């Protein structure tokens, strides 16, 4: 039946965007991948609202789209523009190794989520391991990449994936919690933008390895 | 209604301070807000003690555990707030008014988010509030705006946010387990406890692991503690006092709430095992880093990790005595750690260095500060007659009673290691002759006075346990699902 | 009978496909472009010309063009182009097809080495590097498709897949398509992996291997490349969008299959032209990253089969 398949399709596209983000080297390209990923997630929320009969999810999808497809990418793009040119900083692992690790993470996600997928009666349940894989890949992005902005994008992908888990497993969490989470993420991104700019001013690069003074 | 008032005061104070024009007005609002919050908090505690629960709206709720936390938060923030006025007046001159104003406003906002976290029944709102504490304190950590402050604040923000996001995932899984039982359950903790025995244990275990990792990051459990030494040592002293003394306890509060659910649904052995592992790891890692510290603020920060580990061990040992010891230790640690950080602020103002080597002869140059510092360190390492001795004793005795002998033995040995390290540092700071020229004065006098209350309470907790307090704690333990 | 018609269509129509792609590219780049039938004229010219062979080559050099064209002609026999019915098509196994292609690649690589020139050796080693990464991807992507269809026979596969109405919503299907599309680019030597119209040392892969060939040998090899491209596109079109292809040997079904084929080939050709016009050739050491990416897509396609309902 089309609901389950459509949800699976969008979940896979979501995961694909995670892969594309983690291998791209240009900051504005990464922000664009994130915006597309959030758009796919908003579409998924709309699909769940339509087929699952939760009309308030339309509102949630709209707010999500506004915040994560319009506002946050524009904030990030402004930061990228303010930072200006930087030296290319290589991540800790190369592209092929990164992709290999991502493949392993996807397999781990499928094995870890097996109990939930097995017991969930909802037709969207198959996408939960993909969302969890998105969580793991977001974590990996934060660890693997050395530029502060990419770490922030990894964190944002993590939040996206968790929102997707909530969406697929239980058709979303209560509205007030949802709104609170969005507000928190928005404020966090704004604060992070200030910080990235200050880091650039103080250290003249956004390579996180510079932030290694405090040890022991 | 009193709960709304409790939250209302710091929120409004924060807004008012943000709009104030001069430093003394901001300080005035700040102090009055702290006192009002303290009175409201004590009123809530008294009401909860007399009745059994208190509900304001559908979202706010204060049972014994919340009241316990409210007492800690409001008391410590009042003492710290009063000291903060002295600190800010000495540290910032009148040209840095904006920084002082930012400090006071964020201070009140911080208290508001912490109080919101412990007075809400909705686990999602609790999550939002705890993330809010991170956001409120980030700029406070970076108040001095130098390289190290920036580094500490950035690491703090990223690590905390990632950790708390994982906690949210755990909350979602818990919600999923609950929804499978009763579809309109919402994220309320009371309804979750009510259906806890019917939740699927596998899913609850999965959820609890994420929650432990997530809120454990906030509480300072190893190996997620790496942000803590940097953030707590770079922040200004009153903020470090609040963060170490109170915020870590709020993280532990969240863990206790979820542990209560997990114990019923997946059996107490699961949560206990994980808490004990993380607790012992925190003890071990902090002991290793603590003995070689050269910066006294970092030493205190690592000591926070150590004590969080002890509390986690207590919760892990479980049973009546383990949990009681953990709760008592939360109070003792809050009192002693906040006092020590406040005093470290005074030491910093006097000696202008955070190196242990750079501080000599504290007892001569700043007698009141030095004496209080001595009492604080004694309380911290668990010497009688201070309260920490009693709570640590209870915890480890519970460990032996629950047959977790290996954990207890290793824990006690690590405590000895920490004892030696901290006393050595303290000795080198307190005694000896200070560098010339020196003058005999305490940098902050009157606002430091409330610290005496800390000492008195620590002594009191070390010597007695009044019936009223024991009954109150019994109520808390019943909430958590533990009984004699 | 129908089989013969199909075969002739492939063999004769391949240069037309190449001409179509070139013309589209030219138009996109604002040029007039060569005539649509130009590849035929090139082939005729090459057949007439004299063959010049280096003295340092062995029998492999002269043998390879025949192996290559032979493999392609056999491959053209076993791919369902217009219809899935027909006796010899039951021999059409996708694994067999991939290994026929690989046979041709192998001999070409040997021939590149055979002349002893540095260009040839360079081209052969690059080609082998690309093939080493592309072949596992092909196998995994095929595995994903045949798991769904339950068979590795090409005709049966298409018949089974055509029965699923919601096929295009299946993520595994789409992932396998993109994975195989990237592999097509690698195997047939198109941008961004290899530029088919360049002769610069830094950018050649396929062209470098066949640099020594001339006359009718070159004509055979060029023709074989055209047939390879035609077959890859036919596979992509017929397996992933299996509607329109004929199921029986009725003339009506075959005609419908012809129309469907023309539409699919045109669509794929236009997308290839657009892709080649819009991307630059990848630096050589970044090609493995692209191919690893397509391997990941294929792996995800297999995972999706096992774990999704």
| Best residue in C137, C167, C169 for a mutation probing chain A (most A CBs within 10 Å) | C169
Burial of residue C31, with CB atoms counted within 10 A of its CB: 0-12 exposed, 13-18 middle, 19 or more buried: exposed
In the complex, which subunits touch B with 3 or more CB pairs below 8 angstroms?
A
**Angstroms from A210 CA to nearest CA on chain B:** 9
Identify whether residues B375 and B448 lie together within a single domain.
Answer: yes
Search chain C and give the residue with CA nearest A102: C296
Are residues B442 and B346 in contact, defined by beta-carbon separation less than 8 angstroms?
Answer: yes
Search chain C and give the residue with CA nearest A1: C166
B190 occurs within a structural domain: yes
Per-residue pLDDT at B442 exceeds 90: no
**Angstroms from A182 CA to nearest CA on chain C:** 29
Beta bridge pairs of residue B54: B62
Contact list in A for residue C175 (CB cut-off 8 A) is: 12, 16
- Picking from A72-76, B146-150, C165-169, which range would have the lowest pLDDT averaged per residue? C165-169
Are residues C121 and C204 in contact, defined by beta-carbon separation less than 8 angstroms?
Answer: no
Cα B408 to its chain centre, rounded Å, is 23
Region B64-93 average pLDDT = 88
- Work out the number of other CB atoms within 10 angstroms of the CB of residue C277: 14
Structural domain ending residue among the three candidates B239, B266, B293: B266
Q: Where are the domains of chain A?
A: 2-84+94-208
Continuous H helices in chain C: 2-28, 38-48, 59-78, 94-114, 118-149, 154-162, 171-188, 206-209, 215-240, 251-278, 287-307
- At residue C204 the predicted structure's pLDDT band, cuts being 50, 70 and 90, is confident
Are residues B169 and B210 in contact, defined by beta-carbon separation less than 8 angstroms?
Answer: yes
Region B61-78 average pLDDT = 89
Distance CA C56, CA B75 (A): 94
Identify whether residues B295 and B384 lie together within a single domain.
Answer: yes
Per-residue pLDDT at C219 exceeds 70: yes
Per-residue pLDDT at C17 exceeds 90: yes
- Whether residue A191 and residue B135 make contact (CB cut-off 8 A), yes or no, is yes
Are residues B79 and B453 in contact, defined by beta-carbon separation less than 8 angstroms?
Answer: yes
- At residue B483 the predicted structure's pLDDT band, cuts being 50, 70 and 90, is low
Are residues A175 and B177 in contact, defined by beta-carbon separation less than 8 angstroms?
Answer: no
C-alpha dist (Å) from residue B399 to A30, B151, B270, B321, B394: 51, 39, 16, 9, 9
Distance CA B77, CA B82 (A): 8
Query: Does A4 contact C at CB distance below 8 Å?
Result: yes
Contact list in C for residue A5 (CB cut-off 8 A) is: 166, 169-170
Where do we find the tokens 């988010």?
B113
3 state SS of C303: helix
Q: Residues B381, B382, B388, B389: what is their CA dihedral angle, to the nearest 10 degrees?
A: 170
Q: How many beta-carbon pairs under 8 angstroms link A with C?
A: 57
Distance CA A1, CA B17 (A): 58
Domain count, chain B: 3
3 state SS of B145: coil
| Cis? peptide before B437, omega within 30° of 0 | yes
- Whether residue B147 and residue A203 make contact (CB cut-off 8 A), yes or no, is yes
- Whether residue A2 and residue C174 make contact (CB cut-off 8 A), yes or no, is no
When comparing pLDDT for A132 and C196, which is higher?
A132
- At residue B77 the predicted structure's pLDDT band, cuts being 50, 70 and 90, is very high
- At residue A116 the predicted structure's pLDDT band, cuts being 50, 70 and 90, is confident
Identify whether residues B327 and B471 lie together within a single domain.
Answer: yes
Query: Does B179 contact A at CB distance below 8 Å?
Result: yes
Distance CA A216, CA C247 (A): 73
Residue B240 corresponds to which tokens in the numbers above?
């470090």
B242 occurs within a structural domain: yes
Q: Residues A135, A141, A147, A148: what is their CA dihedral angle, to the nearest 10 degrees?
A: 10
Distance CA C245, CA B251 (A): 64
Identify whether residues B161 and B101 lie together within a single domain.
Answer: no
What is the pLDDT, as a whole number, of residue B454? 84
B85 occurs within a structural domain: yes
- Whether residue B128 and residue A180 make contact (CB cut-off 8 A), yes or no, is yes
In the complex, which subunits touch C with 3 or more CB pairs below 8 angstroms?
A
Residue A89 corresponds to which tokens in the numbers above?
């900083």
Identify whether residues B435 and B295 lie together within a single domain.
Answer: yes
C-alpha dist (Å) from residue B257 to B66, B326, C8, C127, C149: 10, 14, 75, 61, 51
Distance CA B315, CA B109 (A): 30
- Work out the number of other CB atoms within 10 angstroms of the CB of residue C202: 9
What is the pLDDT, as a whole number, of residue B184? 63
Identify whether residues B108 and B158 lie together within a single domain.
Answer: no
Region A132-158 average pLDDT = 88
Distance CA B260, CA B475 (A): 14
Rg (CA), chain A: 18
Contact list in C for residue A126 (CB cut-off 8 A) is: 307-309
- Whether residue C289 and residue A99 make contact (CB cut-off 8 A), yes or no, is yes
DSSP label of B226 = T
Region B453-480 average pLDDT = 83
Identify whether residues B15 and B100 lie together within a single domain.
Answer: yes
C-alpha dist (Å) from residue B153 to A94, B134, B137: 29, 10, 9
Please identify among residues 77-116 of chain A the ones whose CB lies closer than 8 Å to any CB of chain B: 112, 115-116
Search chain C and give the residue with CA nearest A123: C309
- Per-position b or e across C140-163, b if 16+ CB within 10 A of its CB: bbbbbbbebbebbbbbbbbbbbbe
Domain that holds residue B36: 1-119
Where do we find the tokens 């275990």?
B205
Identify whether residues B149 and B43 lie together within a single domain.
Answer: no
**Chain-wide mean pLDDT for chain B?**
86
Identify whether residues B115 and B230 lie together within a single domain.
Answer: no
Are residues C238 and C264 in contact, defined by beta-carbon separation less than 8 angstroms?
Answer: yes
Cα atoms in the 13 Å half-sphere on the side-chain side of A128: 28
Q: CB-based contacts of C218: which residues, under 8 Å, 6+ apart?
A: C46, C65, C210
Query: Does A97 contact C at CB distance below 8 Å?
Result: no
Nearest to C308 among A8, A99, A102 (CB): A8
- Whether residue C288 and residue A13 make contact (CB cut-off 8 A), yes or no, is no
- Whether residue A99 and residue C304 make contact (CB cut-off 8 A), yes or no, is no
Rg (CA), chain C: 19
- At residue C106 the predicted structure's pLDDT band, cuts being 50, 70 and 90, is very high
Contact list in B for residue A189 (CB cut-off 8 A) is: none
C-alpha dist (Å) from residue C68 to A7, B102, C73, C276: 45, 77, 9, 26
Are residues B246 and B334 in contact, defined by beta-carbon separation less than 8 angstroms?
Answer: yes
**Angstroms from A69 CA to nearest CA on chain C:** 23
Distance CA B6, CA B71 (A): 12
B156 occurs within a structural domain: yes
- Whether residue C292 and residue A15 make contact (CB cut-off 8 A), yes or no, is no
What is the pLDDT, as a whole number, of residue A86? 66
Interface of C with A (CB under 8 A): 166, 169-171, 174-175, 286, 288-289, 292-293, 295-297, 299-300, 303-304, 307-309
3 state SS of B285: helix
- Work out the number of other CB atoms within 10 angstroms of the CB of residue C217: 23
What is the pLDDT, as a whole number, of residue C241? 84
- Work out the number of other CB atoms within 10 angstroms of the CB of residue A12: 24
- Whether residue C288 and residue A126 make contact (CB cut-off 8 A), yes or no, is no
- Per-position b or e across B239-265, b if 16+ CB within 10 A of its CB: bbbbbbbbbbbbbbbbbbbbbbbbbbb
Per-residue pLDDT at B409 exceeds 70: yes
Identify whether residues B393 and B470 lie together within a single domain.
Answer: yes
Rg (CA), chain B: 21
- Whether residue B127 and residue A119 make contact (CB cut-off 8 A), yes or no, is no
**Angstroms from C239 CA to nearest CA on chain A:** 19
- Whether residue A95 and residue C174 make contact (CB cut-off 8 A), yes or no, is no
Distance CA A102, CA C300 (A): 11
Identify whether residues B207 and B343 lie together within a single domain.
Answer: no
What region does A99 belong to: left with phi over 0, alpha with psi -120 to 50, or beta?
A: alpha
Distance CA A94, CA A146 (A): 12
B135 occurs within a structural domain: no
Per-residue pLDDT at C269 exceeds 90: yes
- Picking from B59-73, B311-325, C236-250, which range would have the lowest pLDDT averaged per residue? C236-250
3 state SS of C197: coil
Per-residue pLDDT at B48 exceeds 70: yes
- At residue A88 the predicted structure's pLDDT band, cuts being 50, 70 and 90, is low
Where do we find the tokens 């902005």?
A149
Percent of all residues in chain A with a pLDDT value above 70, rounded to a whole number? 95
Long-range contacts of C184-188 (CB under 8 A, 24+ apart): C184/C232, C184/C233, C184/C236, C185/C275, C186/C130, C186/C131, C186/C133, C186/C134, C186/C287, C186/C291, C187/C101, C187/C105, C187/C131, C187/C134, C187/C138, C187/C228, C187/C232, C188/C225, C188/C228, C188/C229, C188/C232
Per-residue pLDDT at B306 exceeds 80: yes
Identify whether residues B262 and B372 lie together within a single domain.
Answer: no
Angle at A126 between CA A120 and CA A128, to 5 degrees: 80
Contact list in C for residue A9 (CB cut-off 8 A) is: 169-171, 174
What region does B220 belong to: left with phi over 0, alpha with psi -120 to 50, or beta?
A: left
What is the pLDDT, as a whole number, of residue B129? 92
Distance CA C70, CA B110 (A): 78
DSSP label of C282 = P
Cα B382 to its chain centre, rounded Å, is 17
Q: What is the pLDDT of residues B249-282, one digit of tens each?
A: 999 999 999 998 888 888 888 888 999 999 999 9
Continuous H helices in A84-174: 95-112, 114-119, 128-144, 148-170
**Angstroms from B125 CA to nearest CA on chain A:** 6
Phi first, then psi: what are they for B413, rounded to 5°? -65, -40
When comparing pLDDT for C187 and C157, which is higher?
C187
Whole-structure pTM value: 0.85
Nearest to C303 among A4, A16, A106 (CB): A106
Residue C281 corresponds to which tokens in the numbers above?
């050739």
What is the pLDDT, as a whole number, of residue C309? 52
Which segments of B253-299 are extended strands (E)?
none
Phi first, then psi: what are they for B275, rounded to 5°? -65, -40
- Whether residue A102 and residue C166 make contact (CB cut-off 8 A), yes or no, is no
3 state SS of B433: coil
| Best residue in B162, B224, B230 for a mutation probing chain A (most A CBs within 10 Å) | B162
Please identify among residues 19-48 of chain A the ones whose CB lies closer than 8 Å to any CB of chain C: 19, 23
| Best residue in A4, A9, A111 for a mutation probing chain C (most C CBs within 10 Å) | A9
Please identify among residues 44-63 of chain B the ones whose CB lies closer than 8 Å to any CB of chain A: 59
- Whether residue B138 and residue A191 make contact (CB cut-off 8 A), yes or no, is yes
3 state SS of A84: coil
Search chain B and give the residue with CA nearest A203: B147
When comparing pLDDT for B326 and C93, which is higher?
B326
What is the pLDDT, as a whole number, of residue B111? 92
Nearest to B150 among A116, A199, A216 (CB): A199
Distance CA C70, CA B375 (A): 93
Q: What is the pLDDT of residues B103-155, one digit of tens each?
A: 899 999 999 999 999 988 888 889 999 999 999 898 888 888 788 888 888 88
- Whether residue C296 and residue A99 make contact (CB cut-off 8 A), yes or no, is yes
């Amino acid at each position: 039946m089309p609901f389950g398949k459509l949800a699976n399709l969008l979940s896979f596209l979501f995961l694909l965007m995670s892969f594309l983000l983690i291998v791209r080297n240009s900051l504005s390209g990464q922000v664009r991948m994130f915006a597309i990923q959030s758009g796919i997630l908003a579409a998924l929320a709309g699909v769940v609202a339509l087929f699952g009969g939760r009309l308030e999810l339309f509102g949630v999808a709209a707010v999500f789209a506004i915040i994560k497809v319009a506002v946050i990418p524009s904030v990030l793009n402004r930061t990228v523009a303010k930072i200006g040119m930087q030296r290319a900083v290589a991540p800790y692992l190369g592209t092929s190794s990164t992709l290999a690790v991502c493949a392993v993470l996807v397999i781990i996600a499928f094995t870890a989520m097996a109990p939930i997928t097995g017991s969930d009666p909802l037709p969207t349940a198959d996408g939960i391991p993909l969302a969890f894989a998105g969580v793991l890949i977001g974590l990996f992005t934060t660890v693997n990449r050395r530029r502060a902005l990419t770490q922030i994008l990894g964190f944002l992908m993590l939040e996206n994936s968790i929102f997707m888990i909530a969406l697929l497993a239980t058709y979303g969490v209560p509205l007030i919690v949802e709104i609170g989470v969005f507000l928190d993420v928005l404020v966090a991104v704004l604060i992070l933008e200030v910080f990235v700019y200050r880091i650039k001013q103080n250290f003249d690069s956004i390579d996180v390895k510079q932030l290694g003074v405090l040890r022991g | 209604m009193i709960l709304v008032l409790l939250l209302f005061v710091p929120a409004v104070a924060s807004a008012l301070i943000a709009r104030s024009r001069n430093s003394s007005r901001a300080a005035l609002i700040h102090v009055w807000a702290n006192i009002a919050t303290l009175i409201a908090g004590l009123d809530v505690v008294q009401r909860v003690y007399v009745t059994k629960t208190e509900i304001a709206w559908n979202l706010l709720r204060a049972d014994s555990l919340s009241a316990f936390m409210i007492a800690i938060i409001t008391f410590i923030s009042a003492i710290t707030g009063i000291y903060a006025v002295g600190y800010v007046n000495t540290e910032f001159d009148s040209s840095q008014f904006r920084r002082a104003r930012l400090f006071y406003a964020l201070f009140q906002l911080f208290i508001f988010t912490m109080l919101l976290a412990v007075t809400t029944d909705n686990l999602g709102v609790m999550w939002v509030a705890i993330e809010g504490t991170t956001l409120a304190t980030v700029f406070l950590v970076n108040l001095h705006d130098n390289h190290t402050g920036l580094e500490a604040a950035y690491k703090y923000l990223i690590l905390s946010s990632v950790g708390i996001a994982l906690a949210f995932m755990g909350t979602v899984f818990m919600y999923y387990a609950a929804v499978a039982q009763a579809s309109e359950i919402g994220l309320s903790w009371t309804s979750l406890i009510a259906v806890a025995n019917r939740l699927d244990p596998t899913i609850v275990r999965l959820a609890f692991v994420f929650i432990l990792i997530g809120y454990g990051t906030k509480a300072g459990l190893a190996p997620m503690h790496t942000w803590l030494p940097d953030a707590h040592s770079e922040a200004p002293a009153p903020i470090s006092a609040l963060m170490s003394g109170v915020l870590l306890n709020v993280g532990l509060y969240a863990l206790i709430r979820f542990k209560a659910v997990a114990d019923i649904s997946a059996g107490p052995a699961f949560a206990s095992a994980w808490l004990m592992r993380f607790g012992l790891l925190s003890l071990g890692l902090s002991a290793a880093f603590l003995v070689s510290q050269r910066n006294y603020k970092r030493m205190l920060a690592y000591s926070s990790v150590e004590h969080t580990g002890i509390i986690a061990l207590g919760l892990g040992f479980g049973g009546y005595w383990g949990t009681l010891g953990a709760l008592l230790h939360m109070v003792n640690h809050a009192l002693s750690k906040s006092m020590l950080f406040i005093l470290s602020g005074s030491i910093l103002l006097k000696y202008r260095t955070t190196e242990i080597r750079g501080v000599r002869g504290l007892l001569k140059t700043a007698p009141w500060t030095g004496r209080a510092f001595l009492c604080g360190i004694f309380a911290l390492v668990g010497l009688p007659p201070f309260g920490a001795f009693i709570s640590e004793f209870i915890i480890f005795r519970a460990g032996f009673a629950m047959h977790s002998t290996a954990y207890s033995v290793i824990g006690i040995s690590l405590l000895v290691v920490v004892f030696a390290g901290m006393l050595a540092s303290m000795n080198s700071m307190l005694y000896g002759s200070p560098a010339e020229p020196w003058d005999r004065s305490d940098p902050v006098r009157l606002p430091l006075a409330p610290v005496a209350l800390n000492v008195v309470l620590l002594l009191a907790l070390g010597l007695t346990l009044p019936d009223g307090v024991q009954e109150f704690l019994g109520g808390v333990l019943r909430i958590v699902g533990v009984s004699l | 009978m129908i089989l013969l018609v199909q075969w002739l269509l492939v063999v004769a129509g391949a240069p037309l496909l190449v001409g179509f792609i070139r013309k589209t590219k030219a138009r996109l780049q604002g040029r007039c472009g060569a005539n649509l039938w130009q590849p035929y004229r090139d082939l005729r010219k090459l057949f007439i010309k004299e063959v010049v062979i280096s003295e340092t080559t062995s029998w492999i050099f002269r043998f390879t063009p025949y192996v290559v064209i032979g493999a392609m002609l056999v491959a053209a026999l076993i791919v369902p182009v217009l219809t899935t019915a027909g006796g010899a098509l039951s021999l059409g196994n996708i694994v067999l097809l991939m290994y026929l292609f690989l046979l041709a690649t192998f001999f070409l690589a040997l021939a590149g080495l055979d002349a002893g020139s540095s260009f040839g050796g360079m081209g052969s080693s690059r080609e082998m590097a690309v093939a080493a990464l592309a072949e596992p991807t092909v196998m995994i992507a095929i595995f994903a498709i045949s798991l769904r269809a339950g068979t590795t026979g090409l005709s049966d596969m298409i018949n089974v897949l055509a029965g699923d109405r919601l096929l295009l919503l299946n993520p595994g299907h789409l992932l396998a398509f993109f994975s195989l599309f990237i592999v097509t680019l690698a195997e047939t030597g198109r941008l961004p992996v290899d530029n088919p119209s360049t002769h610069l040392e830094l950018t050649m892969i396929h062209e470098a291997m066949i640099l020594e060939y001339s006359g009718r040998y070159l004509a055979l090899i060029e023709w074989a490349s055209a047939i390879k491209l035609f077959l890859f596109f036919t596979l992509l079109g017929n397996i992933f969008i299996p509607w329109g292809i004929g199921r029986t040997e009725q003339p009506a079904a075959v005609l419908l299959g012809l129309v469907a084929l023309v539409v699919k080939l045109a669509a794929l050709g236009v997308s290839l032209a657009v892709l080649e016009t819009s991307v630059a050739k990848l630096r050589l050491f970044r090609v493995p990253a692209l191919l690893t990416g397509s391997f990941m897509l294929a792996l995800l396609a297999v995972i999706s089969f096992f774990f999704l309902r």
